[in-house]
């Protein structure tokens, strides 16, 4: 399965999120909770990068090498939209 790395990371992240829930339930120190949230955000960013890299090296490469200009334009538009969304956050 080509997405196994991303799936494995998400399962780890899921465990971290449950840990954050327990921290909040136990009324742990706010800064410690925030640090854990930041770690989850960084891990999610890594998953996004992993998936984007796979997309660039498969779907986008296929579209660029293909004969369909509309498909190429669509793939490039999608990448631009993802970049735009990422810079808004």
Q: What is the pTM of this model?
A: 0.82
pLDDT in tens, 20-68: 999 999 999 999 999 999 999 999 999 999 999 999 999 999 999 999 9
Distances 89 to 21, 23, 36, 58 between C-alpha atoms, Å: 23, 26, 19, 26
Tokens of 57: 């090296």
Q: How far apart are CA 10 and CA 43, in angstroms?
A: 8
Residue 1 pLDDT > 70: no
Among candidate residues 33, 35, 41, 37, the one with its CA nearest the CA of residue 86: 41
Distances 45 to 31, 49, 56, 57, 69 between C-alpha atoms, Å: 21, 6, 16, 18, 31
Superfamily for the 4-88 domain: Metal-sensitive repressor, helix protomer (1.20.58.1000)
């Amino acid at each position: 399965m080509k997405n196994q790395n991303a799936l494995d990371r998400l399962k780890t992240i899921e465990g971290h999120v449950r840990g954050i829930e327990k921290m909040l339930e136990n009324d742990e120190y706010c800064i410690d909770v925030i640090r854990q949230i930041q770690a989850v955000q960084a891990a999610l960013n890594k998953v996004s990068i992993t998936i984007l890299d796979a997309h660039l090296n498969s779907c986008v490469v296929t579209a660029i090498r293909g004969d369909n200009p509309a498909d190429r334009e669509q793939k490039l538009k999608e990448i631009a939209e993802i970049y735009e969304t990422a810079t808004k956050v």
